[in-house]
Amino acid sequence: MLLLDQPYVSPFLRQTILEHQLPVIATPQAAALELPAGTRLVEELAAVNCYRDGISRLLYSNSENSLSWVTRNLPFTDLPRQIALLKDKVRFRQLLAPLYPDFFFQAVPAAELEQVAVTSLPLPFIIKPAVGFFSLGVHKVSAVEEWPAVLAALQAQLAAATAVFPAQVLDTTTFIIEECALGDEYAIDAFYDRTGTAVIVNVLQHPFSSAADVSDRVYLSSAAIIQRTLEPFTALLREIGALAGLVDFPIHAEVRVAPDGTIVPIEINPLRFGGWCATDIAHYAFGLNPYLAFLREDRPRWGKLLDGKGDEVTGLIVLDRSGSLAAADVRAFDEARLLRAFARPLEWRPIDFHRYPVFGFLFVETVGADMAEIEHILASDLREFVTVA
């Protein structure tokens, strides 16, 4: 079944639900989403009984807003334990300690951040909420002198974000400080089947504009990316799944790959694939539907999916509204100019930027080594597309 909630149900997911008559749990939150007529709805009590009686095993949520529903209504399943283990980044690091015994991390209550002895920490380091989402409150600190500015930025960013996201998605009472993993960053959508086998349905390379960048601006996928990462990433997820006891469970993982090939997990997000609509890139790149793959327990036939693929690269551009652009100061976002900035735009999905910290999502295709347009949008502050009030 599917458990749907704000902030966003992608058009592709809506289409998949309707076309394949996938059951959606009829929560008040789902009702508010204005799902298409003909959507197959299952009343909450009936859905709970299906899981209690073993009629249903699989559950996919598009939003971490729904995690509290799972904890309240499905305590007799293993889902609450799996969610809690992965969602809390401190517990996650403790879980991985046998695999990464030398990896530095430290939990810090929010009230004690100003007392942190920064000079004793390994530089550079990352600080972020122990329970977080969408790169909110994530900062890289490369020098002791940067710490006061980071603290001030944290207070401003999180004060605004906590008004939008519930505590189960973004909890600012505890932070984690951890060493900065080196190398290229990747995002992985995968699920663990009934036997605990890890099945990858998406691999996205996550480039940054600079060493200090921690944004979610660009994600890329291609045949070459899948071919070089599928085997080592599957092996890593197998180890993590064995430690965590993950079964019948979808995840969105973020990892870094060092120059020597060492893979270090950054985080694993529970019960979902890429947030908002990031996982939809698999549809544009390979004709693969990640939602169906999980709910029907279908292993992607990667050899067939990649057959005939050339050097084209499919990208997702996240047009995030940076902290320097307050929603009240923005009169309009120039979608037409954005689309002209790319040779092959595939689909534009606008978002209410007055409600959420993002203007929209753009799927694009880039051919071969010509990545100039990707490099440009990576470094852009987006003011070139904005009319200021």
What one-character DSSP code corresponds to residue 269? E
**Mean pLDDT of the region 136-143:** 83
Instruction: Return the pLDDT at 364.
Output: 97
How many whole angstroms separate alpha carbon 93 and alpha carbon 88? 9
Instruction: Return the pLDDT at 171.
Output: 61
**Residue 283 carries which side chain, given as an amino acid letter?**
H
Domain with CATH 3.30.1490.20 in the chain: 100-179
CA distances from 325 to 332, 339, 353 (A): 12, 21, 10
Query: Does 135 score more than 60 pLDDT?
Result: no
14-68 pLDDT, tens digit each = 999 999 999 999 999 999 999 999 999 999 999 999 999 999 999 999 998 999 9
**DSSP labels, 318-379:** EEE--TTS-GGGEEEE-HHHHHHT-SSEEEEEE--TTTSSEEEEEEEEEETT--HHHHHHHH
Instruction: Return the pLDDT at 157.
Output: 64
Q: 100-179 architecture in CATH?
A: 2-Layer Sandwich (3.30)
| Band of residue 182 on the pLDDT scale cut at 50, 70, 90 | confident
Instruction: Return the pLDDT at 55.
Output: 96
**pLDDT mean across residues, the chain:** 91
Instruction: Return the pLDDT at 339.
Output: 97
How many whole angstroms separate alpha carbon 76 and alpha carbon 80? 9
**Mean pLDDT of the region 326-330:** 81
Query: Does 164 score more than 90 pLDDT?
Result: no
Query: What are 333's two structure tokens?
Result: 């976002």
Instruction: Return the pLDDT at 172.
Output: 66
Instruction: Return the pLDDT at 163.
Output: 53
Instruction: Return the pLDDT at 215.
Output: 82
Range in 134-138, 280-284, 310-314, 380-384 the model is least confident about: 134-138
Query: What are 335's two structure tokens?
Result: 């979608």
Domain with CATH 3.30.470.20 in the chain: 184-388
Asked if 177 contacts 150 with a C-beta cutoff of 8 angstroms, the reply is no
Asked if 63 contacts 72 with a C-beta cutoff of 8 angstroms, the reply is no
**Residue 180 carries which side chain, given as an amino acid letter?**
C
| Band of residue 158 on the pLDDT scale cut at 50, 70, 90 | low
Query: Does 211 score more than 80 pLDDT?
Result: no
Range in 122-126, 224-228, 237-241, 293-297 the model is least confident about: 122-126
Query: Does 165 score more than 90 pLDDT?
Result: no
Query: Does 155 score more than 80 pLDDT?
Result: no
| Band of residue 160 on the pLDDT scale cut at 50, 70, 90 | low
235-278 pLDDT, tens digit each = 999 999 999 999 999 999 999 999 999 999 999 999 999 989 99
In percent, how much of the chain has pLDDT > 90?
72
Total Cβ atoms within 10 A of residue 250: 26
* Length of the chain as a residue count: 389
Query: Does 168 score more than 60 pLDDT?
Result: no
Asked if 302 contacts 230 with a C-beta cutoff of 8 angstroms, the reply is yes
In percent, how much of the chain has pLDDT > 70?
93
Kindly report whether the peptide bond that precedes residue 300 is cis, defined as omega within 30 degrees of 0: no
CATH class, domain 184-388, is alpha beta
Which of these, 217, 232, 185, 191, lies nearest to 204 by C-alpha position? 185
Query: What backbone phi and psi angles, to 5 degrees, belong to 373?
Result: -70, -30
Query: Does 167 score more than 70 pLDDT?
Result: no
| Pairing assessment for the beta strands 358-367 and 312-320 based on DSSP bridges | antiparallel
Query: What are 372's two structure tokens?
Result: 């100039």
